[in-house]
Amino acid sequence: MYDIDFKKKGEYVLHIKKFFLYPQFWEDPLKSLTEPTGWKKVKFTKSNRSKIPRDKGIYCFVLQPKLVNFFETTYLFYIGKTNRTLWVRYKEYLDEQAGKGKPRNKVFEMLNQYTDYLYFYYTSIPASADVDSCEEKLLNIFVPRVNTDIPEAKISPELKNLYEN
C-alpha cells in the first residue's frame, strides 16, 4: 500500500527555499568590496539588541543550523543597510517580527520561521555613501532570496523576480 501524509508533505514544502548561486558575480572585480571589515555576529534575539552599536552600517540575516559534530553551514537570506543606526534598525526588525508596522511577507516569514537559527551579522561604516555603495555591491553579488530590490535587476531583467518562479 502506498501511503503519503499530505499534511506532513505540505509542512515540508514550507521549508523549500531557492538560492541564487552564481560564481561569476562572486568573482567579478567590479563587485569586489573595499569598505567593510570587522563583521560581527549575534543571534537575532531581543536580549542581544544591547550588543548592537549605534553606528551606520550594513547588516545581513543568516540562517545557521546547529548540528553536533558537523562543520558550520550558513544560508544568506537578507542584506540591508542603515544610515540611521544599526541599533535602531535591529529594533525595527524585532518589531516586525512581532507583527508591528507595515508587513513585508518575506521578511516576516524569515524572522519567524527560523527564530532559533537566525543570526544578525553587521559591520559599522562611518560614511553614508560607503554604506549605500557596499549594500548595492553585496546585493548584486549574492541576490539574496528575501531582498526584493536588487540594483542589478534594474539593468538585467533576467534577475527580476528570480525567486517568484
Residue 15 identity = H
pLDDT in tens, 9-48: 999 988 889 999 999 999 998 888 876 678 999 999 999 9
Nearest to 56 by CA among 90, 84, 33: 84
Residue 36 is predicted with a pLDDT of 63
Q: How confident is the model at residue 118 (pLDDT cuts 50, 70, 90)?
A: very high
Give a yes or no: residue 13 inside a domain: no
pLDDT in tens, 67-101: 999 999 999 999 999 999 999 999 999 999 999 98
What domain range is 122 assigned to? 37-152
Residue 144 is predicted with a pLDDT of 95
Predicted TM-score of the model (pTM): 0.91
Residue 108 is predicted with a pLDDT of 96
- The CATH number linked to 81 is 3.40.1440.10
pLDDT in tens, 143-155: 999 998 888 887 7
Q: How confident is the model at residue 163 (pLDDT cuts 50, 70, 90)?
A: confident
Angle at 19 between CA 154 and CA 136, to 5 degrees: 35
Q: Would you say residue 64 has pLDDT above 90?
A: yes
Q: Look at the chain and report how many structural domains it folds into.
A: 1
Give a yes or no: residue 165 inside a domain: no
Give a yes or no: residue 84 inside a domain: yes
DSSP-assigned states of every residue in 10-31: HHHHTT-------HHHHH-GGG
Give a yes or no: residue 26 inside a domain: no
pLDDT in tens, 122-143: 999 987 778 998 999 999 999 9
Residue 41, SS3 per DSSP: strand
As given in the structure block, the three cell numbers for residue 89 are: 534598525
Q: How far apart are CA 91 and CA 59, in angstroms?
A: 13
Give a yes or no: residue 6 inside a domain: no
Give a yes or no: residue 163 inside a domain: no
Under 8 Å CB-to-CB from 158, ≥6 apart: which residues? none
Give a yes or no: residue 11 inside a domain: no
Give a yes or no: residue 164 inside a domain: no
What's the distance, Cα to Cα, between the start and end of the chain in Å?
Answer: 34
Q: How far apart are CA 63 and CA 85, in angstroms?
A: 23
